[in-house]
Structure formats: C-alpha cells, structure tokens
Homo-oligomer: A and B are copies of this chain.
C-alpha cells in the first residue's frame, strides 16, 4: 500500500474529484519554479552527501522539532544546536527513534503529508514510520544518501526544478552562487537580497554590519547617501549573480516616507545605537520605501514578509538562539501601515511588491482589496503555518472574489527542508486544482478557464511575477 493516496486532497464528491484530478494531471509534471526559499547554496556548490536521516529530516526542520518539543521532548534530545554553538552529543539514531515514536503527533498536519511524500517518492519507502519501522527506515535512508542519485544536484534534477532562489544576507559574498554558475552544471540557483541585518537597528551587530557594508562596496555608509548607495551596489552585485528579488522580514508592515533630512537624522541615531523601539520601527519602515524606490530603478521584485513575533520564548532564545520554532504570528495591519509607501510608489506599474501575511484576517479585509487596486501590489501565497491544504483553501476563498487570480503570484515553498520541495509544490497544485474544480462544478468558472488557471497557478504566474 502506498504511503500517500493518489487522490489525496481532491474533493470526495465523484464529479468534483474527477474534475480536480483532470486538472491536476495536466500540471503535475510541470517544472518547479521555486522563487523564494531557504535551501543552502553550498549544497549545490559542493554537492556532497547529506549526513544522515536525522540531520536531513529532524534537526534542521523547525516544523518537525517544534511539534516534538510541544509534547515535552527537549531540543537537546533532538540534537538541535545551542546558541553557543555547542550541541548535546545525541546520537542521530536516537533522534530518529524519538521522531519515529512520536510520528503520530503529526497526524492531520502538512508535515505528515510532506514527510510521507518524501519517504515514498524520494526514498521509495512504503511502510508507515513507527517505532517498529524506525531502524529499517534509518538504514534505508542512510544507505540511499550515500548513492550519487541522492546528492543535492541529482535531487534538484530529479525534483524537476527549473530555478530555485535562496535567501541571502546583504553581506553574503555569494561565493556558492558563483561556484554553481562557474561549475558548468545546468541547475539554476539564484540569490535573493535580504538586507534585514543592515536595515534593522534592533538586530545585534547592526552598526558593525553597516560598516562592513561600506567596506564591501567602497561607499561611505556612515552617511545616509552613502548607505543608500551601498545598498544599490549590493543589489547590483546580487543581480549580477542572478537575483531577481529582494526580501524583507519585519515584525510589522509599517512603512514611512520621510524627507531626506529626517531620514538622515534617523539613520544617524540608529547608527549610534540610540534609536528607540519606535524609531527603529520607523527606520525599518523608511527602508521599505527606499527599497521600493530602488526596485523601480533596478527591477528587483520586492517581497515583504511581516508579522512574525520572533523568538517568543526568552529562555529558548537565550539557550538556542533564533529559528527554533518559537516564532509566533501576531495581528498585522496593512491598510495604515503600507500607506506611506503606496502613496509614494503604489501606482507605478513597473514596480512589483509581493505581500505575505501570517494574519489570515487580512486576506479579505485588507490584502485582497489593496492588491485589487494598486498596480504595484500582488499577493504572495499562504505562508509558513498556512502553507497547507486548508491554508490554501482559505486564501483562495478569501481573496479570489476581490482581487481575482491574476493579482496573486503562484506558489513558493519557502523551505529549508530540501526533500519537501516536491511535496509542497504537489500539495499546492492539488489544493489549487481542488479549488478550481469547485468553481467549475458550481458554475463559477468554465472548464477551459480552469485548465488555463491550473497552469498559471502551478507555473506561469510564479515565473512571471518574479521575473525569472
């Protein structure tokens, strides 16, 4: 018996299921466009084997280890590195056993579907992961990882990826991207300009990072003008290495449009570490508008990912640092927050700003009305906790009636879990086809329109929206 149901996520009513399956079959083999994610560019550059099953599936995946932690297993028991770089001497097999024993915790979650998909379609397994099968699973996957077909580049090809974007700090030298490009390998791995560390005065090391930005670009980043010029230079460097987009992760969506004098003053304060929390927020907001203006010139597509209250648990952050599963969404306003930026550049048809949210209440109330009016705005797909069947359903149901399909940008997997990439795109394609089938069966869409849309949502829109 296969681990995954061939008709999974299709509506159970027979006519609807047939409609959904038909649409899905027309798009299931399309190449994957992955315009936003967090895979490690060194994988493609070095092309060495993944160490072991625990390091592949458990240790780096905060979706996975947070669920285990929520039931009382400690991060140490799962081998998650501590903030000081140390690490419990947990055996990878022991980690794998803990994971397997608790695999039932994932019932009904997208993680279960992604993992089962990877086990079956990447590794050829066909029994359920349990305490009883844990050992055989480990051995099987570990053996496969030693084969050339399971090296990163081979998997990239097997996954039918046409292009994949990584996310890279403004100070990254992009050596891995350079290495990939010069290697003669045909895979396309492009960087994304993520300047949080040099635009957020509240990040540790902000001042030093700005200094380093100056060194890398030869600009005087102690002045506002030089600081902006340095950003332009780094963006050009990223573009030269294939980047088509920037990405901005802020706690809230505030934007600002200060005059030069005020911006200068604020920048100087931030640089001295004297910005209050409100001023830090204002500076981040000003930088969103500055980045939008740069995008008008250099064409980078701008992504805004606001609304995560990072590192919610102080003790966990102190002991283990960032990205440990304790980033919790919060209410996020867009209507007031984006107005300064939109008044400045929102009507520019040449600008493309893609909005994401962790606050689903904004879909119908704020995001779809905004994207259904401003030429510069488009909506990104459901993000993070909402990258799931129900999440995609709610997104489509809440946005389509107001801004249609063509103010959205297809799917992106946004993952660092390499083997989940085909699974995630598959879930998105199935979920979208299920939604389209529902529209056809209720007379809201014609069959031919649904077919075109299935292709658009699976492939074309992502490629065009991100200028890939």
Beyond A71-B375, A108-B439: 18 further Cβ-contacts under 8 Å? A5-B442, A8-B442, A8-B443, A9-B444, A10-B442, A69-B373, A108-B400, A108-B405, A109-B401, A312-B373, A314-B343, A316-B347, A325-B373, A329-B365, A329-B369, A358-B365, A359-B361, A388-B401
Distance between A331 CB and nearest chain B CB, rounded to angstroms: 7
Most buried by B among A10, A72, A328, A370: A328
Task: Return the contact of A4 from the options B313, B386, B439, B443 (Cβ within 8 A).
Answer: B443
Complex Cα distance, B370 from A329, in Å, reads: 9
Does A333 sit within 8 A of B, measured CB to CB?
yes
Residues in B whose Cβ lies below 8 Å from that of A107? 404-405, 445, 449, 453
A335–B312 touching, CB < 8 Å: yes
Does A213 sit within 8 A of B, measured CB to CB?
no
A335–B342 touching, CB < 8 Å: no
Residues in B whose Cβ lies below 8 Å from that of A316? 347
Interface residues of A in 4-22 (CB under 8 A from B): 4-5, 7-13, 15-16
Does A406 sit within 8 A of B, measured CB to CB?
yes
Residues in B whose Cβ lies below 8 Å from that of A314? 343
Residue of B nearest to A308 (CB): B369
Residues in B whose Cβ lies below 8 Å from that of A442? 5, 8-12, 389
The interface-forming segment of A119-127, A180-188, A236-244, A390-398 is A390-398
Residues in B whose Cβ lies below 8 Å from that of A386? 364
A406–B342 touching, CB < 8 Å: no
Known: A70-B373, A312-B339, A373-B328. A404 touches B106 (CB 8 A): yes
Residues in B whose Cβ lies below 8 Å from that of A390? 397-398, 401
Residue of B nearest to A19 (CB): B12
Distance between A129 CB and nearest chain B CB, rounded to angstroms: 12
Over the window 103-120 of chain A, the binary record of Cβ atoms lying under 8 Å from chain B Cβ atoms (1 yes, 0 no) is 011111110110000000
Distance between A430 CB and nearest chain B CB, rounded to angstroms: 9
Residues in B whose Cβ lies below 8 Å from that of A330? 333, 335-336, 365-366
Complex Cα distance, B312 from A346, in Å, reads: 11
